[in-house]
Structure 1
Amino acid sequence: MKLPPPLDWPSAGIGPDEHFPPERRVTRENWRIYPYSRWAFQHARELVPSRVIRRSSNPRELDEALIDLGGLVLPDETGELITWNEFLARTYTDAFLVLHRGRIVYEHYANGMTAETPHLLFSITKSFFGLLAEILIAEEVLEPEAPVIRYVPELAESAFASVTVRQLLDMTDGVAFDEEYANPEAEIHQYSESYWTPQRGFGGVFEALKKLTARAGPPGTLFRYRTPVADALGWVLLRASGQSLSKLLGDRIWRPSGCADNAQILLDTAGHEIAGAGLNATARDLARVALMILGGGIVDGHWVVPPAALDSIAGGGDRALFAGAGMETRPNGSYRSQWWIQHEGFESIQALGVFGQRLYMEPGSGLAIIRFGSHPVGGNSFTDVIHHNAIRALRGALA
């Protein structure tokens, strides 16, 4: 596939208002399409209604021991050697931050982004709410084997009626849904109208979820990654906790992790917080959350996440079901509580979002990578191989 050049939005004449010519103007209709996305992913909260998640009053300081990666080389997806800077440009990087053994060792911003700029995280959002679900399970507020309709009876006529909370968490629920971004006719494009398109997405995701009635298989028999499942989980968390998702995330993860900047969560067409794709945050605050997780859930001697919650995620999901889903670029993996788990080699847990958002953590080595992007191709499998190669090269440089 021939990709467009990785332009920077400040020099490309792209913006949201009448000062820009129509062909360069970012709108509610085009903001997720390249090149308009180069501006929009750093400004999504200005295009779509959002709710603030307040920063910590006692931000965590981040130690630094910066290294130069300018001389690093790595193979691309074809095996051809490229430089580190070529890798950053070819993957349409907006931010790239590396933590190693508790310190920032590399930090890079491009495309007009800075350390203070929030970026839309897309499906990294799912993993935050998966972690919150595991916290509530550990505290016996949420019952993982309970049917979803115990918490959300409104889904009784949908395909979620026979599904458990655990099956939602691990995406083994079996609800039929096509999330092939490359297919313009896929259901995900119609479903996303409940997020972003008021004139066509009336009722928001809760109404859209009730309309999903087809099944791809019995619950617990197959793994398929689908965004509506995370939105159904968000609805469950809303009911089980009795709190808004922004309050739950702010009280239980954001402020206890010492996040220094406000985050935002986008609202759908009915004003509901978007659990599947709505979080906006800075790279440094994701680094603070990563440090909390790599530190066993403890910050300043206090538990933020119970050990049982992190152990549940790190243990992974059903590997056989994952292998049966055709994840060729993610071998020896599984999916657990909205996190991608790698079980062999350097074991890792990852949160991934379309268009290049990645949060990668290796608990054993203390390595964490936060990267934001605005890639023209939605699906992250398109760049999995080059990212695996970059992580391998980076690991060698740090060694």
Structure 2
Amino acid sequence: MRKSNLALSLAIAMTGSPVLAQVALKPDTPSILVWTPAQQSDGYRSIETVYKVNTIKRGDRVHPLPMAKRQIDVTFNHGSKTWTTDTFMKANNVSGVLILKDGKVLMERYGMGRKPRDRWTSFSVAKSVTSTLVGAAIQDGKIRSLEAPVTDYIPELKGSGYDGVTVRQLLMMSSGVAWNEDYTDPKSDVAQSTTMKVEPGVNPLVRYMSRLPRVHPPGTMFNYNTGETDLVGILVSNAVGKSLSDYASEKIWKPYGMGQDAIWMVDPAGRERGGCCMSMTLRDYGRVGQFILDGGKAKGVQVLPANWTAAATTTQITNGIPSGYGYFWWMRPNGSYEAVGIFGQSITTFRDDRIVIVTNAAWPRATDREISALRTAFLNAARAAAKAE
């Protein structure tokens, strides 16, 4: 693989991988990875018109996000320029920025013609929601524990490289099973796993994953693997006996009080993509972040195990990228933990400051070192401004 291709693959793995297997409503739909700016602007906010999805239904109650007494703006220096929130958003095709402190809105801005009721696709931010549903299933007694074997919930994997792998090791991306996530190589696993035929009663992704060999002892080596995050989605669905969308509605959207229905892209077998592509409003992204920050409680009821959010959002395994990886959450050198998706999607939380910052965007490239550095500079400046209030 050429050096440039290697850099692209590593960079995308750092920020959240692209779509493995989606079902387009029209046969001539181009890959979401190569959409034009106009296709991004329209498609990211209306993904249900492009791909097959399931609905995550909200309930009757809405969790309030009251406006703080004073709103903030963010001004910061980066490179040779002084930036404002507006110039940052325009320069990077940012469709939404939300800053919460103590559950109150310090800033809510929209761009690219987006309105408050417009949803926006998550890409790999969905991984962090999927791991949260693992916690809910443990709290419900549907998954015995993090140390339970994966094969207890996906028996088709018995006798494969996943024999002896635990749920926890999947959440750490450390199964030890071989996986090549090179998006530029048509022979890579991330490409080949999308070509399996759909047969009645057989999940094509599970069949593909069951054929992969083990190359490391489980739990010893981090290897970014979107196939396994989709596998975790299947595991949860099997354990609870319902779709991920229905379970997300039951455990998060209804009890916590999301403002609108969300949608979740499905694979060719009709399963929600555990590793990708939910769509929700900017405020509901903020509510996801606040739900985790609040310890996984809804209306005073512990939806997740009491220690779940702390464990999920602290380093469980080193991954060669400061500062480590939790349960489908990234740890950052600035002290935050993040749910991240390509093209500029993120939920960034500074736990000790009780600050949640959401960005949605349509970057011109899936990942970009310069844009990422600018986003980090904005996040650090936004944190400082929020703390000052």
Please name the residue that 1:348 is paired with.
336
1:305-335 per-position Cα deviation (integer Å, ceiling 9, x unaligned): 332211321343123xx23xxx2xxx2x221
**Structure 1 gaps, min length 5:** 2-24, 195-199
Determine if the alignment matches structure 1 residue 206 to structure 2 residue 203: yes
Q: Is the 8 A contact 1:118 1:283 kept in 2?
A: yes
Q: Is the 8 A contact 1:135 1:309 kept in 2?
A: no
Offset of residue 375 of structure 1 = 1.4
After TM superposition, the structure 1 = structure 2 runs for residues 55-204 of structure 1, keeping only pairs within 5 Å, are: 55-65=58-68, 67-69=71-73, 72-75=75-78, 79-84=79-84, 85-142=86-143, 143-156=145-158, 158-181=160-183, 186-191=188-193, 193=194, 202=198
State the superposition RMSD in angstroms: 2.6
Please name the residue that 2:311 is paired with.
312
Offset of residue 364 of structure 1 = 0.8
Q: Is the 8 A contact 2:296 2:302 kept in 1?
A: yes
**Structure 2 gaps, min length 5:** 5-25
**How high is the TM-score relative to the length of structure 2?**
0.83
Distance in 2 (CA, whole Å) between partners of 1:119 and 1:201 is 30
Please name the residue that 1:46 is paired with.
49
Offset of residue 252 of structure 1 = 0.6
Distance in 2 (CA, whole Å) between partners of 1:279 and 1:382 is 26
Determine if the alignment matches structure 1 residue 389 to structure 2 residue 389: no
1:54-86 per-position Cα deviation (integer Å, ceiling 9, x unaligned): 11201122211353526x1231xxx33241233
Q: Could you say what secondary structure the match of 1:368 adopts?
A: strand
1:28-65 per-position Cα deviation (integer Å, ceiling 9, x unaligned): 22444231223211111111111111112011222113
Distance in 1 (CA, whole Å) between partners of 2:184 and 2:102 is 38
Determine if the alignment matches structure 1 residue 270 to structure 2 residue 269: yes
Offset of residue 276 of structure 1 = 1.1
Letter of the 1:249 counterpart: A
1:159-196 per-position Cα deviation (integer Å, ceiling 9, x unaligned): 333422111011111222232446676543444x46xx
Letter of the 1:373 counterpart: A
Q: Could you say what secondary structure the match of 2:242 adopts?
A: coil
Q: 1:370 and 1:227, CA in 2 relative to 1: closer, same or farther beyond 3 A?
A: same
| Residue correspondences, number | 355
Q: Is the 8 A contact 1:353 1:380 kept in 2?
A: no
Q: Could you say what secondary structure the match of 1:106 adopts?
A: strand
- Among 326, 329, 345, the alignment partner of 1:336 is 326
Q: Could you say what secondary structure the match of 2:325 adopts?
A: strand
Determine if the alignment matches structure 1 residue 258 to structure 2 residue 260: no
Q: Could you say what secondary structure the match of 1:174 adopts?
A: coil
Distance in 2 (CA, whole Å) between partners of 1:301 and 1:226 is 35
